[in-house]
Amino acid sequence: MPFPSYNKSSREAGFTLLELSIVLVVIALIVGGVLVGQNLIKSAEIRGTVGQFEKYNSAVNTFRVKYGGLPGDIRKTEAAAFGLYSLVMASAVGFGDGNGLIEGGNSGSALPVGETLLFWRHMSDAGLVDGALGVVGNSIIVTGTGLVTGAVSNISQSLPPTKVSAQNAFVVFSANGFNYYTLVPITAIDATPAYTMGNTGISPIAAYNIDAKIDDGNPNTGIIIARGITAINIAPSVAIGPALNTCTTGTGSATDTYNRMLNLGQDDPSCGMRARFQ
Q: Is residue 151 located within the same domain as residue 238?
A: no
Q: Is residue 111 located within the same domain as residue 164?
A: yes
Distance CA 112, CA 194 (A): 6
Query: How far does CA 230 lie from the centroid of its chain?
Result: 14
Question: What does each of the 278 residues of the chain score in pLDDT, given as a tens digit?
Answer: 555 555 555 455 566 877 777 777 777 767 666 555 666 667 888 999 999 999 999 999 999 999 999 999 999 999 999 999 999 876 688 999 999 999 999 999 999 999 999 999 999 999 999 989 999 999 999 999 999 999 999 999 999 999 998 899 999 999 999 999 999 999 999 999 999 999 999 999 999 999 999 999 999 999 999 999 999 999 988 766 655 678 998 877 888 899 988 887 889 999 999 999 98
Does the residue 15 lie in any domain? Answer: no
Read off the pLDDT of residues 141-155 as tens digits, 9 standing for 90 and up: 999 999 999 999 999
Q: Is residue 160 located within the same domain as residue 256?
A: no
Q: Is residue 163 located within the same domain as residue 97?
A: yes
Please say whether the beta carbons of 230 and 108 come within 8 A. no
Does the residue 136 lie in any domain? Answer: yes
Boundaries of domain holding 154: 49-168+180-196
Predicted local distance difference test score (pLDDT) of residue 157 = 97
Could you tell me the pTM of the whole model? 0.84
